[in-house]
Amino acid sequence: LPRAPAGPRSLLGTAGGVVPRGGAPYVQTRIFKIIVIGDSNVGKTCLTFRFCGGTFPDKTEATIGVDFREKTVEIEGERIKVQVWDTAGQERFRKSMVEHYYRNVHAVVFVYDVTKMTSFTNLKTWIEECNGHAVPPLVPRVLVGNKCDLKDLIQVPSSMALKFADAHNMLLFETSAKDPKESQNVDAIFMCLACRLKAQRSLPCRDLEGWPGQARRLEPTHNASGKNSCPC
Ligand SMILES: Nc1nc2c(ncn2[C@@H]2O[C@H](COP(=O)(O)OP(=O)(O)OP(=O)(O)O)[C@@H](O)[C@H]2O)c(=O)[nH]1
Ligand SMILES: [Mg+2]
């Protein structure tokens, strides 16, 4: 029997699978890099903890640089590693890292605290920072209002957040990292992004790169309520 050529060429034609020499084929797990951005104290660490670890941390300290968390999920039979970059909200703890945050990012989660209006008004600065790092338009972005369990303290009305999300072509999730009843909603943020990324990346390359007309079709769409809707 003819032998497959050694080296990278032998990987061609295996549709994502890799055939190791002399071994059975196996499928490489894809990694999606998702960064979580927003003011200090909005709950980025708690949200990523809830998604990756399933709990609310008793105590957190300001993140310095970045903390990596990950979770392997299964979407339509494919195992995907969701690599979450929990970034620092404080300028002094993030400035040396910003370039690394945005390099080869697959999706961006913008977080504000529903009980703190300044964390919402500051979103425009975070979006400017993201745009300033040439993040391609195809990279999905979502907006997350956290700390919804503090019902009596809410300062940012849903209608205002929804309008902002619509204007920036983002889906809106309002949730709580603390309330265990909201944990599915927290999972939905990352699962929704992972689904979208999987769908985007299954298309032929020409639909993703250099074809802005085609690419626009892949932008998020909102359902009637617009909130917490997932296109997948
Ligand atoms: N009530 C309530 N408190 C929360 C929630 N999420 C986070 N917190 C609290 O908010 C504070 C800040 O949470 P962190 O997750 O550390 O905030 P962060 O955005 O990571 O802050 P930096 O790392 O400084 O950028 C902590 O005291 C958390 O316990 C939530 O959903 N509800
Ligand atoms: Mg943090």
- Residue 19's pLDDT is 60
| Phi-psi region at 13: left, alpha or beta (left = phi > 0; alpha = psi -120 to 50) | left
* Rounded distance from Cα 139 to ligand 2 centre (Å): 23
Strands 66-75 and 78-87: antiparallel
Which residues neighbour 23 within 8 Å (Cβ) at sequence distance 6 or greater?
A: none
Helices (H) and strands (E) in the chain, counts: 9, 8
Beta carbons within 10 angstroms of residue 102's beta carbon: 21
10 lines ligand 1 (CB under 6 A): no
Q: How confident is the model at residue 37 (pLDDT cuts 50, 70, 90)?
A: very high
155 lines ligand 1 (CB under 6 A): no
Closest to 214 in 3D by CA, of 222, 206, 224: 206
What is the position in ligand 1's atom list of the atom closest to the CA of 57? 29
46 lines ligand 1 (CB under 6 A): yes
Taking residues 185-207, report their average pLDDT: 83
Integer Cα distance of 220 and 171 in angstroms:
7
89 lines ligand 1 (CB under 6 A): yes
> What value of ipTM does the predicted structure carry?
0.99
* Rounded distance from Cα 138 to ligand 2 centre (Å): 26
* Rounded distance from Cα 179 to ligand 2 centre (Å): 18
55 lines ligand 1 (CB under 6 A): no
pLDDT tens readout for residues 85-100: 999 999 999 999 999 9
84 lines ligand 1 (CB under 6 A): no
88 lines ligand 1 (CB under 6 A): yes
Q: How confident is the model at residue 28 (pLDDT cuts 50, 70, 90)?
A: confident
Name the residue of 60, 116, 152 to mutate for ligand 1: max ligand atoms within 8 A of Cβ: 60
Q: Which residue has the tokens 């992972």?
A: 194
- Residue 101's pLDDT is 97
209/130: higher pLDDT: 130
